[in-house]
Structure 1
Amino acid sequence: MPKISACIVAYCDYDEVCAAVRSALANTPGDDFALYVVDNASPDGCGPRLAQTDFGDVRVQVICLPKNLGFGKGHNSIMDRLTSDVHFILNPDVIIHDDILPQMAQWLLDHPGVVMATPQLYFPDGRIQNLPRRKPTPWLLLARQLAPRFGGVMQKADEHYTMQDEDLTIPRPIEFCTGSFAAIRTDVFKTIGGFDPEYFMYVEDADLTQRALRQGLVYLLPQFTATHAWHRDPMRDAGKFKMQLKSMGRYFKKWGIGKGNV
């Protein structure tokens, strides 16, 4: 069985984080699994509560950061601890229902040309989430935000961006792997330096994917599934929307605005 690690970066919502932790532990058998829960200085006291929680499993470690480092740097904070073959980046609103972590890890190890992968994620009510994507462009990201409100041309662009014009029922290469649930070869994660620390939040997963693509292929693996609540909606929060625009600016300055792979 592969040696596996996973990291959940938490920010508030103790109950949700606990549910995610317990689902990962319950569905990942074996001693070769390390689960790191990194609290990003949650102002609601989530971190100290997590540190005091007895999950009944020595495989989980809770780390409370002294300040909020952001999503990517939160995940990077445990990189020096990793000794696994495959590392998982998990959101605190993801629930795992079966032993997909070791199965996905083994799939990666059985396909040496693939360095990163994501499963098919679903909303809690069973609706599919269109998270596998093509490489972002400014137009596609704009369409992603505005399609639900305006439809038409923007809806078609969003469907193209989220690869709904492709067969996503079979394993296939993708250009943008969601940070909600990603598996990456640990040596590759370390080689590329984890997430770019200049992103606080938003688009850092697109950036990570582009750097992973320099090492090998990135895949959607729809035979593996999990539930993802997906709370994020930056268009409803002016501060988060401004943060997203800043991240997008950094991304396109770094990778260009054209189509295609690196």
Structure 2
Amino acid sequence: MNLSACIVTYNDQTEALKAAASVLAHTRRHPLALYLVDNASPDGTGRALEQAVASGALRPGPEQSVQVICRRRNGGFGAGHNTVLDSLASDYHFILNPDILLTADTLSDLAEWMEARPQVVMARPSLCFPDGRPQVLPLRRCSLRAMVYRQLGFLTFLKKYNDAYVMAGEDLTRPRQIEFCTGSFAAVRTADFVAAGGFDEKYFMYVEDADLTQKMLRRGQVWLAPQFTAVHVWHRAAHRSLGPMFWQARSLCRYFAKWGFRL
């Protein structure tokens, strides 16, 4: 099998280099094309990534390649990932955040797991913080009350809706079908990802991964495969400042208009 992976960066060269190095170091069982797409970072992240590849500081192994693509403008998360859409020649493609770190050959593991299950078009592993704590991430379709609680946690009467959103209390130690595959780490069948048109670029930030999941669900099944793991630093910017909170709210409105409102 041929694998490909894309990391989209914006002002995070140190973190992106660590992520890329971990992907190259641990992905060994199958050929890999790694794309590093810089979204017009003003701090020189794109140039730093190019220099790391040119100098050998970021060195691909046998049957691996690294390509740095510097965009002229920041079109957002989805647009960044779609930059490589026409170049993909892989069987399985991986959408990765720059704050992902691999500790095992998780890309090969997921690709082989999906290969044995032709009905699966999208999947993700379990994710944990650097200290090993498991991350609680959405697994069901977006709903308004759950999203409000995630921004305003003091509204405790809404907690039950967030519990449903993350499937709290259910057995998540075994593989199971899900309705939301987080864009921080997602594996897709490349042919289906391309046929679906990749990400909807009208989302600048946030909820574009929920939108992509709905598109992929029209083509097959989406699964959580918790037997495979990766580290996700998870900065949660939308929970810390007003700008990202506004982008998230705007994206959520677009999502509901497109896929139907869920209270």
TM-score by length of 1: 0.94
Counterpart residue identity of residue 8, structure 1: I
Inter-partner Cα distance in structure 2 for 1:248 and 1:60:
34
Q: CA deviation digits over 1:157-209, x for unaligned, max 9?
A: 21211111211000000000000000000000001000001101100000000
CA distance in 1, matches of 2:124, 2:151: 22
Deviation of 1:31 after TM superposition, in Å, equals 6.1
Count of aligned pairs between the two proteins: 256
Match of 2:244 in 1: 240
Which of 199, 204, 219 is the matching residue for 1:200? Answer: 204
Give the AA of the match of 2:258: K
Give distance in 2, aligned partners of 1:113 and 1:163. 23
Aligned twin of 1:45: 44
2:231 aligned residue: 227
The one-letter amino acid paired with 1:224 is F
1:29-67 deviation line (CA, Å, top 9, x unaligned): 156210000000111111101111121225111111111
Change (3 A) 1:63 1:90: same
Bigger mean CA deviation after superposition, 235-244 or 80-89: 235-244
In the alignment, the residues of structure 1 paired with residue 91 and residue 110 of structure 2 have an alpha-carbon distance, to the nearest angstrom, of 12
Q: Distance in 2 between matches of 1:59 and 1:209?
A: 28
What does 1:108-257 correspond to in 2, within 5 Å?
108-147=114-153, 149-150=154-155, 152-257=156-261
Is the CA contact (8 Å cut-off) linking 1:31 and 1:59 kept in structure 2? no
Give 3-state SS (helix, strand or coil) of 2:94's partner: strand
User: Structure 1's 235 and 111: CA in aligned 2 closer, same or farther, altered over 3 A?
Assistant: same
2:7 partner SS: strand
- CA deviations on 1:124-150 (whole Å, 9 max, x unpaired) are 111111124111111121122223x34
**Larger deviation: 178-187 or 29-38?**
29-38
Provide, for residues 208-237 of structure 1, a one-character-per-residue CA deviation record: whole Å limited to 9, x for no partner: 000100001100000000000001231322
The amino acid of 1:167's aligned partner reads D
Offset at 1:122?
A: 0.1
Structure 2: which amino acid aligns with 1:60?
V
Matched to 1:86, the amino acid is Y
| Deviation of the 1:258 alpha carbon | 3.1
Asked if structure 1 preserves the Cα contact closer than 8 Å seen for 2:149 and 2:158, the reply is yes
Cα pair 2:122 2:216 within 8 Å, conserved:
yes
- CA–CA separation in structure 1 for the residues paired with 2:240 and 2:59: 39
The alpha-carbon deviation at position 153 of structure 1 amounts to: 2.4
Q: 1:97 aligns with which of 103, 106, 116?
A: 103
SS at match of 2:152: helix
Which 5+ residue runs of structure 1 have no aligned equivalent?
A: none
* In structure 1, C-alpha distance between the alignment counterparts of 2:14 and 2:93, rounded to whole Å: 24
Give the partner amino acid of 1:59. Answer: S
Task: Specify the alignment match of 2:59 in structure 1.
Answer: 56
- TM-align CA RMSD: 1.3
Calculate the TM-score normalised by the size of structure 2: 0.94
Point out the more displaced range, 47-56 or 214-223: 47-56
Residue 16 of structure 1 pairs with residue 15 of structure 2? yes
Q: 1:83 & 1:30 partners in 2: Cα distance?
A: 17
Counterpart AA for 1:21: A
SS in 2 for 1:59: strand
CA distance 1:181–1:87, shift in 2 (3 Å): same
